[in-house]
Amino acid sequence: MFVSYTIVNPLTIIRTTRRLPRKGEVLARVGDPVEPAHIVAQANEPPDFRIIDVARELDVPVKKTATCVRVKDGDNVNEGDVLATRGGLGARAVRAPISGVIVGKGRGRLWLEAPPTLIRLNALVPGTVVTVLPGEGVVIETVGAHIQAAWGNGREAFGVMRAVVRAPKNPMRPKHIDASAQGAILVGGSKIDEETLEHAIEMQVRGIIVGSIPPSLMKRLETVTFPVIATEGIGDMPMCQAIFDLLRSIDGREAAVSGQWQAGSSFKRPYIVTPMPTQAGNPVDPESPPAVGNRVRVLRGPYASASGIIAEMPTGAVPLENGARMPGVYVDVGKERAFVPFANLERLL
């Protein structure tokens, strides 16, 4: 039985793929040591452009536009420069609506392209480049703590971690965010509300990590410039104890936080990586089957977000609260033993 997993590991070998949103040029090479701000690859954003219908603007037949056009392919033009003119009675001129380069003409039209803007991809995670993905990006290897989360708002940052609540069930409140939070990545407990978020923006925090995000806040978070990530998902759930404990243990250390999340075929998961000054980490093994004693997290149902240990692996299906029968395991969650179907179980590696 294959069970899904989440990495929550204090010391492991982490391979982070950094990929450009479109084909470009990789600047780093295999073996290069990189720091978070190091630019490892770059690409051109598709430039702005204008199609200028010279024939229509000058009111001349398409065949005659060639005699009116005053620029040629490859010419650099500034906004307002004359591109084409028609003399005689009712003389007119067509001017460049933007600065750029003439990249094509034909059928009475000109194609004017603005200078391209460069997309720069930073390393985000300090480490060593171990693989170059030609034209796409790099894979960076780091030894340190690694936590995978459930949802993020797409932003990324590198900064100092700061735990602001004492228990994973405590929500983050405005009172937790004082002047010392400026530039820090804050670790909360269960959730954050709108008031606290606005206060965090005002205090210029660098990132927020909480257990869950209310659905009503998701749209607002898309416009926030720093990463906000939820380790458990959407709603009002306490942060999983195992994740909270690990985040508390790296309080005061620097961490790379990626809030990029994507479902389906371009699947991406938010993560937190804290480099450690050691080479002693072991890679996680996601392929091993679940067994008694494994550390797990419950994904759904009455014990959602609770972490515990597999205590028993019954054979056959067991009835659930809603009447369905599913195969699964018994998990010791605190002082209770709960049955969790395999589908709603996640190993913590």
Residues in the site for another protein, rule: CB under 8 A? 2, 4, 17, 23, 46, 49-51, 53, 103-104, 107, 109, 111, 113, 150-151, 214-216, 218, 233-236, 263-268, 286, 299-302, 320-326, 341, 343-344
- The least CB distance from residue 89 to another protein, in Å, is 25
Closer Cβ to another protein, 148 or 162, answer by number: 148
Q: Which residues fall within 8 angstroms of residue 106, CB to CB, at 6 or more apart?
A: none
As measured in angstroms, the least distance from the Cβ of 245 to another protein is 22
State in angstroms the smallest separation of the CB of 217 from another protein: 11
* Spatial separation of the C-alpha atoms in residues 239 and 244, rounded to whole Å: 6
226/303 with CB nearer another protein? 303
Q: Which residues contact 75 (CB under 8 A, 6 or more apart)?
A: 101, 102
Q: Considering the complex, state which of residue 279 and residue 322 has its C-beta at the smaller distance from another protein.
A: 322
Shortest reach from residue 344's CB to another protein, in Å: 5
CB 9 within 8 A of CB 123: no
Nearer to another protein, 37 or 317 (CB): 317
Instruction: Please check whether residue 161 is in contact with residue 251, taking contact to mean a CB–CB distance below 8 angstroms.
Output: yes
Give the nearest distance from C-beta 338 to another protein in angstroms.
Answer: 10
Going from the C-alpha of 101 to that of each of 1, 72, 81, the distances in angstroms are: 59, 10, 12
Q: Smaller CB distance to another protein: residue 29 or 107?
A: 107
Euclidean distance between CA atoms 1 and 10, whole angstroms:
26
Burial of 30 (0-12, 13-18, 19+ CB in 10 A): exposed
By C-alpha distance, which of 146, 149, 125 is closest to 137? 125
Closest approach of another protein to the CB of residue 238, in Å: 14
User: Coil, helix or strand for 35?
Assistant: coil
Of 135 and 252, CB closest to another protein: 135
- Give CA–CA dist 15/204, Å, rounded: 30
Residue 273 near residue 14 (C-beta atoms within 8 A): yes
> Which of 174, 233 has the CB closer to another protein?
233
β-bridge partners, 17: 139
User: Shortest gap between Cβ of 286 and another protein (angstroms)?
Assistant: 7
